Amino acid sequence: MQKLRVAIFTLLTAGVFVSSHAAELVVTDGGSIMQAVRAAKPGDTIKVMPGEYKETVYVDKNDLTIKGVIVGGKWPRLEGNDELSDGFLVAGSNIVIENFHIANHRSNGIMLQGATNFVIRNNVVEHSGGNGVYGIFPMAARNGAIEYNVALGWLDAGLYCGMCENVDIRFNEFYDNGSGIQVENSHNVLVEANATHDNMNGIAIVMITGWKIKTISGIIVRNNILYNNNKPNEVPVDSVFSLITPGTGVFVFGADGTIFENNVFNGNVTAAIVITDHRVATERGLIAIDPETDPNPDKIQVLRNLYWNNGMAPVGYVKEYVEQRAVGTGKTLADIVAIGGGSNNCLSEPKSVTAIGTDDWTICPDDLSTQDVQTMRLQDPLPIVEIPLEEKGEFVYRAVCSGCHASGLRLIGPNFDLVRQVYKGRPEALAEYITSPTKKYPTYPPMPPQDYLPEEVRLEVARYVLEMGRDG
């Protein structure tokens, strides 16, 4: 169903431009993807043939599909050589990136900042030195899908969803990273059917202070398999994510409103699920103290997961906590460990799960389920905002021109009546004049050049000024 919707969505958005000038641009080995991005028009598809591409591809325009072509098992490869910061950097709307092998970027393989309606699909994103930050990094990104990707070798996380909204993360594989997946200060994110294994931690759901977005809610972690996430935590000790305990399937840090349903946890030596408040981090100064942020994990629901062979050798402060609690209870290992504050949390099958620190948790109602949620993406894509040229012209008129000129009145420069008299019917000439003004009248000061404005906006504002007279 979801696939069908993606297909329809793609057709619809492409369809708009097929009738005008949707084009296919092909980039071959030795060429530049960035050049194609610059040349592309909305609705175009850029096809990238197998080969090695050493450039950061940044996409600040809207409506582009950038698609690798895989020939005989050979992929197009974006190589960072540990010199380039990013492989893809995306801020536009309706951008599709698929079929790329992205390797060895210092920061991120794919970073999205403020992007909307995105699809990141079928990419392999890796760092062989293990010191890149995140493989895939949607930040303040809204309404998108991250599917069928593999991310490996990233120091902090294979995928980091920071301040995301309406995002599906599905059918991906993450291994040999810090965390497989981290979701931070986000809303309405579906993490489903991913395999996260052999990382330091499988999936972390975190609330971090110091951002303008100070809440997290609507996170569903469902049908994932999380196993053998037992790598040591290699981030520096003064990094905030040094607080994530290795050997954890799921790590919840001060986050609210997250549902864990029907996941499989196996072989995570500290615990299947660790839930903690902010104190472990604020005490050490790892995150800012922010009175506007709630430090406790609330409304966590743990529903019908399968736990098998977790918690046999906990490490770090979780180990200390488990050992303290073991005195008198006899529990020496646990599937679920909850440390510190938190309220309104529940567990569906407390008798079949070993849990420590969950005394004040309730039993989740039997009928609690996320089955009605098929996707977190929006039914309709977010609209692409293209500011009309007239609006740009009017803005310049109001913000810039009107500071020195008026109709029927002398301000700093000549009044508009005089301007209209001189340039009547010649907006091009007026546009040219304001680009690099020369002194025309001895009694007026020189006008500063408006060459920073786009050419079309200069012409538009010239028209605006000349046509104002007609309206009276």
Tokens of 235: 């981030």
Query: What tokens were used for 263?
Result: 């996941």
Task: Output 120 or 271, the one with its CB closest to other proteins.
Answer: 120
Task: Report, in Å, the least distance between residue 267 CB and other proteins.
Answer: 30
Cβ closest to other proteins, residue 75 vs residue 134: 134
Q: Which is nearer to other proteins, 89 or 96 (CB)?
A: 89
Site for other proteins in 239-298 (CB under 8 A): 239-240, 282, 285-290
User: Which of 210, 313, 429, 467 is the binder for other proteins (CB under 8 A)?
Assistant: 210
Q: Tell me: does residue 457 bind other proteins (CB under 8 A).
A: yes
Shortest Å distance, C-beta 146 to other proteins: 17
Closer residue to other proteins, CB minimum distance, 232 or 408: 408
The phi, psi pair for 200, rounded to 5°, reads: -75, -40
CA atoms of 227 and 204, how far apart (whole Å): 14
Told to check if 89 binds other proteins by CB under 8 A, we report yes
- Give 1 or 409: the residue with its C-beta nearer to other proteins: 409
Q: How far is the CB of 290 from other proteins (least distance, A)?
A: 8
Q: Does 129 bind other proteins (CB under 8 A)?
A: no
Confirm or reject binding of residue 47 to other proteins (CB under 8 A).
no
Return the residues of window 314-373 that contact other proteins according to CB under 8 A: none
Considering only 63, 165, 192, 198, the residue that binds other proteins (CB under 8 A) is 165
Token reading at 319: 């180990």
Total residues in contact with other proteins, by rule CB under 8 A: 74
Which residues face 25 on adjacent strands?
46
| Phi, psi (degrees; rounded to nearest 5) at 252 | -110, 125
Judged by CB under 8 A, does residue 434 bind other proteins?
Answer: no
Q: Which residue stretch of 252-260, 339-347, 362-370, 383-391 sits at the interface with other proteins (rule: CB under 8 A)?
A: 383-391
Among 27, 115, 181, 376, binds other proteins (CB under 8 A): 115
Distance CA 157, CA 412 (A): 57
Nearest distance, CB of residue 185 and other proteins, angstroms: 9
Which pair of structure tokens corresponds to residue 382? 């977010």
CA distance 100 to 19: 28
Q: How far is CA 14 from the centre of its chain?
A: 23
Greatest Cα pair distance in the chain: 95
Is residue 2 a contact residue for other proteins (CB under 8 A)? no
Taking the complex as a whole, the smallest distance from the CB of residue 120 to other proteins amounts, in Å, to 16
Exposed, middle or buried: residue 299 (CB in 10 Å: 0-12, 13-18, 19+)?
middle
Nearer CB in complex with other proteins: 327/409: 409
Which three-class secondary structure state does DSSP give residue 328?
coil
Interacting residue with other proteins among 5, 299, 319, 392 (CB under 8 A): 392
The DSSP code sequence of 236-260 is: -TTSGGGGSPTTEEEEEES--SEEE
85 makes contact with other proteins (CB under 8 A): yes
Give residue for tokens 């520096």: 236
| Residue 412 in the binding site for other proteins (CB under 8 A) | yes
Q: In whole angstroms, how close is the CB of 384 to other proteins at the nearest point?
A: 9
In the bound state with other proteins, the residue whose beta carbon lies nearer, of 133 and 255, is 133
Closer Cβ to other proteins, 30 or 383, answer by number: 383
Measured from the CB of residue 433, what is the shortest distance to other proteins in angstroms? Answer: 14
Characterize 86-110 residue by residue with b for buried, 16 or more Cβ atoms within 10 angstroms of its Cβ, and e for exposed.
bbbbbbbbbbbbbbbbbbbbbbbbb
Question: Is residue 426 involved in binding other proteins (CB under 8 A)?
Answer: no
Decide: helix, strand or coil at residue 164: coil
End-to-end CA, the chain: 57
Give the HSE-up count for residue 65: Cα atoms under 13 Å, Cβ half-sphere: 21
> Nearest CA to 274 among 181, 344, 202, 208?
202
Choose between 15 and 445: whose C-beta lies nearer to other proteins.
Answer: 445
Q: Does residue 387 interact with other proteins by CB under 8 A?
A: yes
What's the sign of the alpha-carbon dihedral 453, 454, 459, 464? Answer: negative
Q: Which residue stretch of 176-184, 198-206, 263-271, 448-456 sits at the interface with other proteins (rule: CB under 8 A)?
A: 448-456
> For residue 119, which phi and psi values (nearest 5 degrees)?
-130, 120
Q: Tell me phi and psi for residue 292, to 5 degrees.
A: -85, 0
Nearer to other proteins, 179 or 310 (CB): 179
Among 54, 410, 424, 426, binds other proteins (CB under 8 A): 410
450 binds other proteins (CB under 8 A): yes
Cα torsion 329, 331, 332, 334: sign? negative
Closest separation in Å from C-beta 33 to other proteins: 14
**Cα–Cα distance, 358 to 351 (Å, whole number):** 12
Taking CB under 8 A as the rule, does residue 15 contact other proteins? Answer: no
By CB under 8 A, the residues from 179 to 198 that bind other proteins are: none
Nearer to other proteins, 264 or 286 (CB): 286
Q: Determine, following the binding rule CB under 8 A, whether residue 213 of this chain makes contact with other proteins.
A: yes
